[in-house]
Amino acid sequence: MDLHLEEELWFGETDDAPAEAAAARSLVARTARIVNLRPCPPVVTVLLSLVTRRATSVADMRRVIEADPTLASRILRLVNSSAFALRNRCTSIEHALVLLGRQIITDLCVAMALLDVQAGHAEALQRNVRMHSSAVGGVARQLAMMLGIPTDEIFTAGLLHDLGKILELQLGEAEGYASLLERANDWPDHLHIFERKRHGYDHAALGAHVLRAWKIPEPLPMLVALHHQPGRAISVGGDLASKTMVLRLADQLCYLFDEEDMINEASIEAISRTEAMTFLDLSAADLTAQWNHLRQASQDSQRLFTR
């Protein structure tokens, strides 16, 4: 492995423009833009156009969401789940729009619709990515609440952070990408390096590009773009850095939850040395104390996506 390349990516010393341009030129991105991703239902397109208009009312948004009863009921299930920890039960889409805001509900509708895709290629792998993404959403939100970091779009960012992988499997050369995923299996944080060597871009750049092309507002595309580049996130600073680190830690924890049922001191010790833990000022003891809560959040969130 080319460690030089890895370090440059890691610390954000590379110019990301070539990777972004390569992602934009890729067949996967072109297809996603042209067909607006086959499974992207009309309700999502309408919501995205409505949410950016000032004149749009809550009632307008409610009507659009309720026109898709499956989506409406899943949104209600989601906002009433432990991930959102609302004091009172949310009983209607209108209530959800008022409580959480139009943008968050729209983001959630988009993420739900995109993660719900049933496509022919490499279905098992796509399912794995979706299960992983929903777990990361739940854990990231739990971590943000625990740390007093604004939770706004963090759940959706978790749901969408690996969207680029799903797009590659659906619209790219699924077999080649599947073997790349397999190769990176033991190295979850190295896949983007393999991808950049092979395609000139990675799933983070691709996901961010496609989200921007679909007019999903910042900071979601930026969080997705930076989720494997902690150095770059830190150099941007502010909420973006904290949220990226929360996303990174949630990502790492979810890989661990897949492997281990019980608290494993060696694994916690290893995670506690990561840049995300240092940046968020968390210790191994903090993580041990929250382990069961975080694990529960990952399982609760995964259940929301398995029907």
Binding site for Fe ion (CB under 5 A): 162, 251
Q: Which is nearer to Fe ion, 152 or 251 (CB)?
A: 251
Q: Which is nearer to Fe ion, 62 or 192 (CB)?
A: 192
Peptide bond into 219 cis (omega under 30): yes
Least gap, CB of 249 to Fe ion (angstroms): 11
Least gap, CB of 203 to Fe ion (angstroms): 6
Q: Which is nearer to Fe ion, 153 or 162 (CB)?
A: 162
Distance of CA 2 to the CA centre of its chain: 27
Q: Between the CA atoms of 98, 103, 104 and 109, what dihedral angle is there, to the nearest 10 degrees? A: 110
Instruction: Report whether 305 contacts 131 (CB < 8 A).
Output: yes
Q: Which is nearer to Fe ion, 162 or 168 (CB)?
A: 162
Q: Between the CA atoms of 99, 102, 103 and 107, what dihedral angle is there, to the nearest 10 degrees? A: 90
Least gap, CB of 204 to Fe ion (angstroms): 6
Least gap, CB of 250 to Fe ion (angstroms): 9
Q: What are phi and psi of 71, to 5 degrees?
A: -65, -45
Least gap, CB of 81 to Fe ion (angstroms): 20
Least gap, CB of 95 to Fe ion (angstroms): 32
Question: Which residue type sits at 177?
Answer: Y
DSSP string, 135-191: HHHHHHHHHHHHHT---TTHHHHHHHTTHHHHHHHHHS-HHHHHHHHHHTTT-TTTH
Q: Which is nearer to Fe ion, 65 or 135 (CB)?
A: 135
Q: Which is nearer to Fe ion, 79 or 210 (CB)?
A: 210
